[in-house]
Structure 1
Amino acid sequence: MIAAPTDAEILARLLYRDGMMLVIDKPAGLPVHAGPKGGPVLDHHLDALRFGLPQPPALAHRLDKDTSGCLVLGRHRKATAKLGDLFASGKVVKTYWAVVEGSPAEDEGRIDLPLARKSPDRGWWMKVDPQGQPAQSEFRVLGRAEGLSWLKLRPLTGRTHQLRLHCAASGFPILGDAIYGTAGRGPEAPPLHLHARAVSVPLYPKKPPVAAEAPPPPHLAGTLRRFATDTAA
């Protein structure tokens, strides 16, 4: 469990702000909502992100606890509803970086595997299921080194654990994935190497999409040094 961040530390991770929405760089290891085990959660810091409005912002989507990077929030009810519609309709472009074990056979491609809940008693755990909800993800290899690959991932649908399960089911699990990967659990296991690198939100009809980009967290940045490819990709 990570140490509880301060409001000031969360404010320092603000990537974008206007009258309708915010984008923050969510730390890896910080859940967005409270769970049965307690501990620090992003919800506890939303009041610090009001910036003068009467109510705190609300999440327009979610990231897994161990996934870092761009997280979009609506600043009031109307904005949150509009953002939710954009995410649900697939109009928001989300770009992730991941380091995976092994390597795809091709330099780029699309994964098309429907997903369903693993079982009623396994919480958010998912499985590939031909009868499940359609799920598609695009990938591009940015680098290969030392038995690992650095991928750019774009989910075309928004299923729970989609990128994690798509990579694992395709033979290249995300490094540090304790649920779908091979690294296992415990203090010696690496952190999850999945980062919401960028987001593009077409919020305003007559303006370019709102774009934000989050730097890789320290554990991912350290692993990316193994790759010779330019990290500006």
Structure 2
Amino acid sequence: MPTATIAEDDDGIRLDRWFQRHTKDISFNIVSRWSKSGVVRLDGAKAGPGDRIAAGQTLTWPEELPVPVATRPTEKPREPLSEAQIEYMRAMVLHMDAHAIVINKPPGLATQGGTKQPTSVDAMLDALQFDAPSRPRLVHRLDKDTSGVLLLARNAKAAAFFSKEFAGREARKSYWALTVGVPKIAAGTIDAPIGKQPGTGGEKMQVDTEAGLKAKTRYRVIERAAGRAAWVEFLPLTGRTHQIRVHAAAIGHSLVGDGKYGGKESYLTGGISRKLHLHSRRLVIATPGGGTLDVKAELPPHMAESWQMLGFDLQLGDIEIVEPPPPPLKKRRLSSATSGNRRGERRSRGATDEPKRPPRKK
């Protein structure tokens, strides 16, 4: 019977996924039939298609099908990276450990490539392999024009763990943005379903209360530049495409530089950059080793210049949001939480029209 030893790179994946990676003729149905008859085994024990495999285990299966090959048949060879590309990618690294690499993605660089995106983070991940047996893996995405914290998993087991954290909404993501005008409610939750806008080929989203997917975003105004613009922190509680951009536009304050959702009104005068002002500032997520990863990324140059021009104090940005306890039940009002607000906007308990500031040093 053919035999293979599970490599480190395949640690933690499903058995059927191993066959999908390394063979071209063994499908899930075949593995399932083998499992029922007991002829596919891990370390001599019966194994099913959904069983998780571990590095070092010995896998055996019937010999009537081809022996697994070293690489996936559909995988195309990648062009070797230039020294400039390697240096470019490594300059982005904010954090690296046995499980993860975190980079500060610049605006204008796509996370994944395509016919219109020949250059991307994914295309240059070989530069971040370092001493690992394989290149790191993407576990979430940022829009091309959004900058900031992007997490990469260094092996398959870590990728499965981090993907589960993101899918379960356990990770905390904080974004900094500059809005056109100042939200009337200084802190709250935008609760508005999001769906694809018809006729755009899925490239543009919209608030869709009939068929959209559930989408929630918390926000708070950190500082304001008179009534012209505001520095706003957004904390998405769900992960829909363009969620922050759609929700900001839904409350009447699109992001500066976001012509797709704000039109001409999203471009401010007075020397403010026309680039999108949206930055993934911070990520807090559990790690496979039982700890917590907490990483921040500095603003890209065009946003840093706008912050300086508008006189914003960066020290105000990382104040933790503390939810006040709810009022006693007998004192609660029964009026609508969204009365007088724009679509989907809801005031947080205890929110005021002025952002909280740290106490002055004596």
From the superposition, tell whether residues 119 and 54 of structure 1 become closer, same or farther in structure 2 (CA, over 3 Å). farther
Q: 2:252 is aligned with what amino acid? A: G
Q: Deviations over 1:189-213 (max 9, x none)?
A: 7000000001001124743x20110
Do residues 192 (structure 1) and 276 (structure 2) align?
yes
Corresponding residue pairs, total: 227
Q: 2:230 aligns with which of 149, 155, 162?
A: 149
Match of residue 7 from structure 1: 86
From the superposition, tell whether residues 206 and 42 of structure 1 become closer, same or farther in structure 2 (CA, over 3 Å). closer
Q: Distance in 2 between matches of 1:201 and 1:183?
A: 37
Do residues 76 (structure 1) and 159 (structure 2) align?
no
Q: 1:159 aligns with which of 231, 240, 249?
A: 240
Q: Distance in 2 between matches of 1:176 and 1:20?
A: 35
Q: Distance in 2 between matches of 1:38 and 1:73?
A: 20
- The range that moved more, 98-107 or 63-72, is 98-107
Match of residue 344 from structure 2: none
Equivalent pair of 1:7/1:48 in contact (CA under 8 Å) = yes
* SS of alignment partner, residue 262 of structure 2: coil
Equivalent pair of 1:11/1:49 in contact (CA under 8 Å) = yes
* SS of alignment partner, residue 165 of structure 1: helix
Match of residue 122 from structure 1: 201
For residue 98 of structure 1, report the CA deviation from its aligned partner. 0.2
From the superposition, tell whether residues 77 and 205 of structure 1 become closer, same or farther in structure 2 (CA, over 3 Å). closer
Do residues 218 (structure 1) and 301 (structure 2) align?
yes
Match of residue 76 from structure 2: none
Do residues 230 (structure 1) and 313 (structure 2) align?
yes
- The range that moved more, 89-98 or 30-39, is 30-39
Equivalent pair of 2:122/2:138 in contact (CA under 8 Å) = no
Which structure has more strand as a fraction of its residues?
Answer: 1
Do residues 133 (structure 1) and 216 (structure 2) align?
no
Q: Distance in 2 between matches of 1:198 and 1:183?
A: 29
Q: 2:249 is aligned with what amino acid? A: A
Gaps in structure 2 of 5+ consecutive residues: 1-83, 318-362
Q: Distance in 1 between matches of 2:155 and 2:265?
A: 41
Q: Distance in 1 between matches of 2:252 and 2:178?
A: 13
Match of residue 103 from structure 1: 182
Equivalent pair of 2:148/2:280 in contact (CA under 8 Å) = yes
Equivalent pair of 1:143/1:228 in contact (CA under 8 Å) = no
Q: Distance in 1 between matches of 2:286 and 2:133?
A: 25
For residue 182 of structure 1, report the CA deviation from its aligned partner. 2.3
* SS of alignment partner, residue 217 of structure 2: strand
Q: Distance in 1 between matches of 2:307 and 2:167?
A: 32
From the superposition, tell whether residues 184 and 68 of structure 1 become closer, same or farther in structure 2 (CA, over 3 Å). same
The root-mean-square deviation of aligned C-alpha atoms, in Å, is 2.0
Match of residue 40 from structure 1: 119
Equivalent pair of 2:224/2:230 in contact (CA under 8 Å) = yes
For residue 227 of structure 1, report the CA deviation from its aligned partner. 3.8
- Flag the structure with larger Rg: 2
For residue 226 of structure 1, report the CA deviation from its aligned partner. 3.5
Which structure has more helix as a fraction of its residues?
Answer: 2
For residue 34 of structure 1, report the CA deviation from its aligned partner. 1.3
Match of residue 131 from structure 2: 52
Identity %: 38
Equivalent pair of 1:124/1:160 in contact (CA under 8 Å) = no
Gaps in structure 1 of 5+ consecutive residues: none
For residue 120 of structure 1, report the CA deviation from its aligned partner. 6.6
- The range that moved more, 175-184 or 165-174, is 175-184
Q: TM-score under structure 2 normalisation?
A: 0.59
Q: 1:62 aligns with which of 138, 141, 149?
A: 141
From the superposition, tell whether residues 60 and 229 of structure 1 become closer, same or farther in structure 2 (CA, over 3 Å). same
Q: 1:176 aligns with which of 239, 242, 257?
A: 257
